[in-house]
Amino acid sequence: MPDFIYLASQSPRRRELLTQMGISHQLLLPTPDEDAEALEVVLPQEVPKDYVQRVTALKLIAARARLERAGGQKAPILCADTTVALDQAILGKPEDANDAKRMLRALSGRSHRVFTAIAIGWSAQTVQACSESQVTFAELSDAAIDTYVASGEPMGKAGAYAVQGRAAAFISHISGSYSGIMGLPLFETAQLLQELQNSR
């Protein structure tokens, strides 16, 4: 695998996961003049898997332009995006505490899917993958939801929860990629990086 990559993500969990893989990386974050949030707008009738793959591809286009402007070294750029889907409804990052409570009430006692798409660009090459996992929540009381939201952990998280945090106590079953639910599926990431390395 490449010994150095750029990570175009502000997620500390993705940094932790890359470190766990032993991959040296440097952040390649949006500059103040970029409207990064605009990339995450859901299109009408867009299904969750299509949404997360489209957003990730757009993030890679923006990151490539960012690296070119900065004159950085030629190295792979990794972009990723995670979304939570309850049936066909996309649960993004909560707008506020009440929105987080709404999402958690909807997830209570039900199974939902977590999609994490990754896209890696290296010079003119692009490789992509999408991890799909299923998570089942136990029934959550209003008190449990209120306490969790008051902790602040749901904010900034797709679906208003973090699988590696306090919400682990809510989860009765997981099927798929734990690291994918965290925000970066390690198996798929390793496969794509090796594919890029082998093609050079």
Check residue 170 and report its DSSP letter. G
Asked if residue 199 has pLDDT above 90, the reply is no
CATH code for position 22: 3.90.950.10
Annotated catalytic sites, by residue? 81
Angle in degrees, 0-180, between the axes of helices 97-107 and 142-150, rounded to the nearest 10? 140
d(CA 38, CA 127): 23
Mean pLDDT rounded to a whole number for the chain = 94
Q: Among 49, 61, 37, which Cα is nearest to 124's?
A: 61
The fraction of the chain above a pLDDT of 70, given in percent, is 100
Reported pTM: 0.94
The residue with greater pLDDT, 35 or 55, is 55
Q: Whole domain around residue 49: which residue ranges?
A: 4-198
The residue with greater pLDDT, 34 or 108, is 108
Segment 99-117 shows an average pLDDT of 98
Asked if residue 37 has pLDDT above 90, the reply is no
Structure tokens at 26: 């440097």
Number of domains in the chain: 1
